[in-house]
Every structure is written in C-alpha cells, then in structure tokens.
Structure 1
Amino acid sequence: MRVLRNLALDLVLVSLRVGLRLLSRVVPTSRSVVLSASPETEGNGVEVARALLGRYTGTIVWLRDGGPVPVEVEALADRGMVLVPKASPAGLWAYLRAEAVLFTHGLYGSPRPVPRKPVVNLFHGDGPKDVRPARGVGAPMASTYLVGSTTLFSGFQAEAFDVPRDRLLLTGNPRTDQLWRDLTPHQLAALGITGPYVVWLPTFRQPRAVGAVRVHDAAVVRDDAAAGLAGLLAGLADRGLQLVVKPHPMDADRRRTPGVVTIDDDDLARVGVGLYPLLGSSAGLVTDYSSAWVDYLLVDRPIAFLVPDRSTYDRELLPADVLDWAPGEVVDNDPWTQPFAEFFADLDTHGRRGSSLRLSVAERIGLNPTTTAADDLVTELVKRGVLDSA
C-alpha cells in the first residue's frame, strides 16, 4: 500500500512539475503573490503573510490544504488575504498568475523556477540536519531564493537545494518575530499549562504519511528518550516547572508521556496560539537535532540536548561535530551520572550561567540577531526585484 501511494504521488508531482513550468513561461502574471505553508500555522508562512499585508499592494493568495481555518490565517484573511484551496483549479491558476511564489515545504512538486516568476523557499528553520532530498523522504524543492538565519547552517541548506550563495537571503526566520509575543494565562491554561514551563521539542525519527510526502520503508527508528525523562521531570518538578512537549508534525511517535503536557498542532490551532509565542514564554528548551535551538538562541535562555540515539541517529549532521560545541548540556547515550545537572543550574540562574556559551555559539554559526525578520525579508525581496514594490 505504501509503495502504491508513493508511486501515485510521484506521478502527480512529476506531472505538476512539468506542466506548471511550461505554463509559467506563457501565462501572463498579475500583481499577486501566492503563499503556501505546512502546517498552515507554520510561523515562517504566517509572518511573511502578515508583513506583506502591511506593505504589499497586490493580491496575497494563501493556498489551503483544507479543514478548519486556523485562527492566525483567518485573522489575516480578515485583513484582505485571499484563501484558495491548494488542490483546485483556482489554486493552480493563482500559482500561474502570481508574480512571485513563496513556500515552506514545497508546492505542486516544486517546478524549477522560470525567470519571470521567482520562487522563494522560506523553509522551516536552520539546523544541523542534512536536508538533501535523497535522504529517504522528501522531494526536490527548486527555488530561486532560500531564506535563512545563519551563515553556517543556511549555507549547507543552500548547497543541498542548489541555490547559489548570492541568492541566500540571511534575513532571519520570519517565525522568530513571534518569540516576543506574550501569551495570556488563559491561553496557557487552555493548553494545560498552569505555571512556568520548559518546552521539549524532539525532531522526528520515524515519519508518518502527512499530505504530499513520500514515506520510506526503513525499520522503525527509536530514540528511547523516555530513559532520560525521569530525571528531567523530577528536576523540573523540584523547581516548580512543567515539561511541555510539542511533537514534530511528521513524527510517528505522538509523545504521549505520563507527567508531560503534550501539545500538537491541533491543540495550538484550537486555542489560537502559535508554537513560537509558546517558546518565547518558556523558561528553557530541551531539544535534539531540531532547528528550534538556533531560533531559541535569540531569547538567550537555557537549552539542553536530549540525544540518547546520538550514536545511531540515521540522518547526517552538518557539521558532524555540532553536538561537541552545542550551546547547552548534551544528554546522550554515555552513562548518565547527573543528567541535566548543567541545565538545571542554568535554569536556577535564569539563564545567566550559560549565556556566554550561547553567545559564542550564535557568533560561531553567524546568527542574524534581528527581531523583525519578516519585514526584513520583504524589504530584501523588493530590493532584489522579486516584488515590484512594497
């Protein structure tokens, strides 16, 4: 069944890639742009739409996957953004007529751009994971420009996507603008958060089939993170902190763990809360190979890395030694004597203890410290002629 699904998906995507590229050469463009984000609450897409609504005078078309409209998207539609089903003739026509296309995870098979229609890959974060599409799942994401926030990690990504360095836009991840948006106690309580908290953001090991994504038949990959959670939960409880886990949208493991507040995209959509405001209100972050820690450096708060599968993780890390100089304690598969001791000490000082390390890592990776990434991106797109004016 999985093989048939992948073959059918490949056939559809190849047809779209070829057909839309040919039509894009001849169909006249209009003063419009199309945006596609997956999931629709993905901050890079939402924040770029918000910035465009404040400055772009053309039509902004948001391509939808279906289902209930997220609160954030509905608010943008109330301001004039046009919502169109992605899998529809209207969606395809909007794509063909747009003067520019922006996406986070690819769109319509990602046809190679033609000169008259620049394609901007907003992507979904700068991290150490190798993103080359030949690695098991994924598809080519052809684009004219790639958006990033670091000279180091974005450089690897540009090479993977075959985007020239001079078309790498290091304006910052637009979603990071949300880190400074406060959440109310009522919003947090609706998610099951009743006090100060630390967020655990594990990346996915075994992907599940979500939308137009191919899934490979590799053996189930386990990270055995539960082995390190008991000490983490106990230490956080001693400090009056909750642990909140947000599973990756593609993770087959939904991370339902006793003592942990589990929040998924549906929960966030129900309350009208984005992931990055949730991160911005947290006391600290526990993650692994995820790109979230790069963004979290901007708020300069404690970070720990729970990587019990460090020696068996099946994705290449770039650079390979990244965990040797990570900006926080690494809890890996070595014998644990006092796991999270450094992380707890940093929490006890409200981040002062680890601040110099985080600053040095931010400098090492060339992190753009902007707090206005979405607006900076729009400015750069106008400067480069991607948008006529804004």
Structure 2
Amino acid sequence: MLRRRDRHPVRRRPALPTGLLGRLALGALRALNHVVAERDTLAVLVGIPDVEDGMIAVADELLARGREVVLLTAGTRVPEGFHDPRVRTIPRRDPRAVWAYLRARDVFTTHGVYGERGGPTRQRLTYVWHGESTGKRIDRYLGGPAKPSSTAPVLSSVGQAFRCAEFGLAPRSVPVVGAPRNDRMLRAPRGPHPLFIERAPARCRLLWMPTYRAGAVGHRRRTDSTRGQAGLPFDRDELAELDRRLAALDVAVHVKLHPFAADAFDLRTSALVPLTDADLWAAGLTTYTALPRFDGLVTDVSSVWIDHLLLDRPVVVAFPDVEEYRATRGFALEPFEDWMPAPVARTVDDLVDEIAAVAAGDDPHAARRRARRALLHAHDDDRSAARLLDVLGAGAARPA
C-alpha cells in the first residue's frame, strides 16, 4: 500500500503585501518601471512553480545567446540541478528582485509579475503560459483584465484566435511559435524511470494529470466543480473501486497531484500512485521530462493533453463532472467533447475500459488524436524557445 509521504508543502508568501499597502507598493513599482533604464543584456524569469519547464527552456536559450538571466522565486529554497548554474535566483520579496525586474529588458512569466499587466513599451513582457487556450475559459472570459504591452506565444492559429480574445491582445502580439516547455518534453529520454518502477511495478503505466477545479480572479474565489477527492474527479468509493480494478489489470496510474490538492490525498491505494512535484524533483525530473516515461496520459480539460499530442501516445479523457464544469467555468470550444482526442469517460466503468485497451496494446483513437495534432500544432520540433526569442529579437539566434 502506498500513501503520500510529503505532508509539509512550502508555504509561499505573496510577492507584494496585500491590501492597501500592496496597492500603494504596486503603484510605486509601476511608476518606477517607467523611469528606471533597462539593461539590454538582462532577462528576468518568474514562473509558477519555481521549477517550471517553460522557464527552464527559455533560460537555456537566453544563456546560449549570451544573455544574463535572473529567476525570481516564490520559495526561499529552490531545488538545484534544473536551471543552469549561471541562472541567478532571488526571492521575489527581496529588494534585489524588484531591482532586477525594473532593469530587465525582457521579462518572461507564466502568470504575471508583481501584479503587473504590462510595463513600459521598451520593456518586453512575455507570458509563457502554462497551456494552450483551447480548453477551459481563462482571463477575460472570467472577468479578468486584459494584458496590454505583452506577448503571448501559442501553438497554432486556433490557439492564437483564443489567446487574442482571452488576453485582449492583437494577433501580432500572439506569435505561433510553439511552447518552450515542449522542447524539454521532446528532448527527454523515453522509457520507464526507476522512480515509477520502484513505486509500482506494472506491465503498463499511465500518468494522470487532472486539472485543478478551483481558482480566483482578483479577490473573487471560483469553484469549477464540487465533485471528487484530493483533486481527482471521483469520490472515495469510486477511487477505491478504480484502484482495485487497475490492480487486476496490472496497470499503475501515477496521479500527479496539484500542489494545492496534494495534502488532501489520504487514500490507501496500490495501483493509483500519488506523485508530487517534490517526488519528481528528488528524482531529477519535471512534469515535462516525466511525460515521455509513461505509456499514455489520463487527463480532462488540462491543456497538457495538447502538448502530449507531440508524443503520439494514447490519451484517456477522465471527466465525470464535465456537465458541472460546463455550467460553472465553461469551455472555450464547444462542443467540448468533439474537440478532445478521445471519448470522454464519465464513469469508472468507462475509464477502466479505456485504460484496459491501452494496457492491451491497442490504440483505438490514434487517427482522432493525430487529426487533433495536425490542427493544434503548427510546429512539432524542439525549437519553440528559439523561435520565441527570434520573434522578440532577444539576442542573436544560435544555429539549429
């Protein structure tokens, strides 16, 4: 029996004070950002989490072009071995981090920097987002503000249309260059990793990455679904039944727990194997270098399935709360089910049937999956970070 071992997640403080003091600090920061001169050689990265595949790929490409790179971190201790030693790390609340941000010619981020939605026009702010925009509704669809004076790369012309609407950007600010995080996925070794074999020997192993079903827009909290347990869209009894049936199939499903839900996983399971960021980092892995180590992916509306199409491996869609999700957060593309690379499994029986087919070596939805790949990816190589920097003019291009 396996249980989650790490019950002491790092507590992160907000980058700036909240409330009135925070608003005053943000106003001062914006004013300074318009008068402090930028250094053309300096680039600042801000990712969530601190070890984030897109940021790592961008940092590597920047360094190869002779740029100085500073990573602003949420935690005081950042796992070593993922960023090049030349990347300087500074906690975001440190005054040196604010100074680096103000002086950076280029700022790359996943979710924002000190609440900023765009700095002066001479400072290039690039949103290397966590995923393509063709699934769940985000940003302006949920009442959030636009992101002026910024760039947001995407995978395809379909993604470009939606990102323009979601972020309030013109098409010229949404280049179709691919996602830097996919560079790491495509360069990573394939085949089982000792971490996963040791935790649950099995003839077939899948990675389950459910989307997180809550969030916030500004100070307004949002709940996308009330169903499920520890971030998984099935209740405890259903998960116990699923675990029993997966064990009978000799299948291990490693459940990548969202950091906000990981501490709630207290199920005693054998085939459903909890997996945290800390587990991956301790083994020298990240989410995107782990993906090629599995026989397939289980997910729902998480955009990871679009990236995973580049591996050309089975995708199982586990989404029992699809109707509630549709009624609360909603989908960018409808009918949602028609856009997915496989049928939507709404029950444990449906999910087991789909996983059993993968375990047997079948790939019944290969043609459908490849059609989605052709539509949702303009590039299928590992040069997305390079294309992004070329578009930005961020340093001399290096040979392919």
> TM-score range, shorter-chain basis?
0.7 to 0.9
Q: 2:80 aligns with which of 71, 83, 91?
A: 71
Matched, 1:132 2:139: yes
Q: Is the 8 A contact 1:187 1:273 kept in 2?
A: no
Q: State how 1:180-191 maps to structure 2 within 5 Å.
A: 180=186, 181-182=188-189, 185-189=193-197
Q: CA deviation at 1:14?
A: 3.5
Aligned to 2:33: 24
Specify which of 361, 365, 373 is matched with residue 354 of structure 1: 365
Question: What's the secondary structure of 1:312's corresponding residue?
Answer: helix
Return the offset for 1:219: 9.5
What residue is the counterpart of 1:45 in the other structure?
55
2:389 pairs, out of 365, 378, 386, with 378
Deviation at 1:256, TM superposition (A): 4.3
The alpha-carbon deviation at position 232 of structure 1 amounts to 4.9
Which structure 2 segments of 5+ residues have no match? 1-13
Corresponding residue number in structure 2 for 1:269: 281
* Cα contact 1:206–1:221 (8 A) shared by 2: no
Q: Deviations over 1:166-215 (max 9, x none)?
A: 1112221111122241277434457x2444410111111134x9xx9856
**Root mean square deviation, CA, Å:** 3.0
216-225 vs 244-253, greater mean Cα deviation: 216-225
Which of 191, 198, 212 is the aligned partner of 2:206? 198
State whether residues 107 and 123 of structure 2, in contact with CA within 8 Å, keep that contact through their aligned partners in structure 1. Answer: yes
Counterpart Cα distance in 1 of 2:371 and 2:167: 28
Is the Cα contact below 8 Å between 2:70 and 2:90 reproduced in 1?
yes
The answer to whether the 8 Å contact 2:44/2:104 transfers is: yes
CA spacing shift, 1:346–1:321, aligned 2, 3 Å: same
CA distance 1:62–1:322, shift in 2 (3 Å): same
Counterpart of 1:71 in 2: which secondary structure?
coil
Report the counterpart of residue 305 of structure 1 in structure 2: 317
Deviation at 1:377, TM superposition (A): 1.9
Q: Which string of whole-angstrom CA distances, capped at 9 and with x for unpartnered residues, describes residues 281-312 of structure 1?
A: 11111111100100111111111111111111
Shift in alpha-carbon separation, 1:297–1:135, aligned structure 2, 3 A: same
Matched residue SS, 1:361: helix
* CA deviation string 1:338-383 (max 9, x = no partner): 54424532443353x322111111233355323322222223222x
Amino acid at match of 2:170: P
Residue 270 of structure 1 and its aligned partner are, at CA, apart by 2.4
Residue 355 of structure 1 aligns with an amino acid whose one-letter code is: A
Q: Match for residue 4 of structure 2?
A: none
- Alpha-carbon distance, 1:320 to partner: 2.3
1:378/1:12 Cα in 2 relative to 1: closer, same or farther (>3 Å)? farther
Secondary structure at the counterpart of residue 56 of structure 2: helix
Amino acid at match of 1:319: L
Structure 2 residue 95 is matched with structure 1 residue 86: no
Q: Which residues in structure 2 correspond to 1:225-264 (within 5 Å)? A: 225-226=234-235, 229=239, 232-233=242-243, 236-251=246-261, 254-257=264-267, 258-259=269-270, 260-264=272-276
Task: Determine the C-alpha separation between the residues in 2 that align with 1:380 and 1:162.
Answer: 19
Are residues 35 and 230 of structure 1, via their aligned partners in 2, closer, same or farther at CA, if it must alter by over 3 Å? same
In the alignment, the residues of structure 2 paired with residue 341 and residue 219 of structure 1 have an alpha-carbon distance, to the nearest angstrom, of: 27
Counterpart-to-counterpart distance in 1, 2:71 and 2:281: 17
Contact 1:21 1:112 in 2 (8 A): no
Superposed, which structure 2 residues align to 1:277-288 within 5 Å? 277-288=289-300
Q: 1:108 to 1:311 in 2, by over 3 A?
A: same
Q: Which residue of 1 aligns with 2:342?
A: 328
Q: Which TM-score applies when normalising by structure 1?
A: 0.84
Please name the residue that 2:67 is paired with: 58
CA distance in 2, matches of 1:217, 1:231: 30
For 1:357 and 1:368, the matched residues in 2 are separated by 18
Relative to structure 1, the CA distance from residue 293 to residue 338 in structure 2 (aligned partners, 3 Å threshold; closer, same or farther) is closer
In the alignment, is the contact (CA less than 8 A) between 1:201 and 1:245 conserved in 2?
Answer: yes
Give the secondary structure class of the aligned counterpart of 2:70: strand
1:263 partner letter: L
CA contact (8 A) 2:76 2:91 kept: no
SS in structure 2 opposite 1:216?
strand
**SS in structure 2 of the partner of residue 248 of structure 1:** coil
Query: Which of 215, 221, 244 is the matching residue for 1:216?
Result: 221
Q: In structure 1, the residue corresponding to 2:206 is in which secondary structure?
A: strand
- For 1:269, what is the secondary structure of its paired residue? helix
TM-score with structure 2 setting the length: 0.82
* 2:332 aligns with one of 318, 330, 345: 318
Alpha-carbon distance in structure 1 between the residues aligned to 2:21 and 2:164: 26
Q: Could you list the per-position Cα deviations for residues 15-72 of structure 1 after superposition, in whole angstroms to 9, with x for gaps in the alignment? A: 35432332222211112010011101221111111221222x2311111112322134
Q: How far has the Cα of 1:125 moved from its partner?
A: 0.7
Identity %: 27
Distance of aligned partners of 1:337 and 1:27 in 2 relative to their CA distance in 1, 3 Å threshold = closer
Distance 1:217 1:368, change over 3 A: closer
- How far the C-alpha of 1:165 sits from its partner, in A, is 1.1
Change over 3 Å in CA distance of 1:18–1:155 after alignment to 2: farther
Shift of 1:82: 1.3
Answer yes or no: is the 8 Å Cα contact 1:109–1:141 preserved in 2.
Answer: no
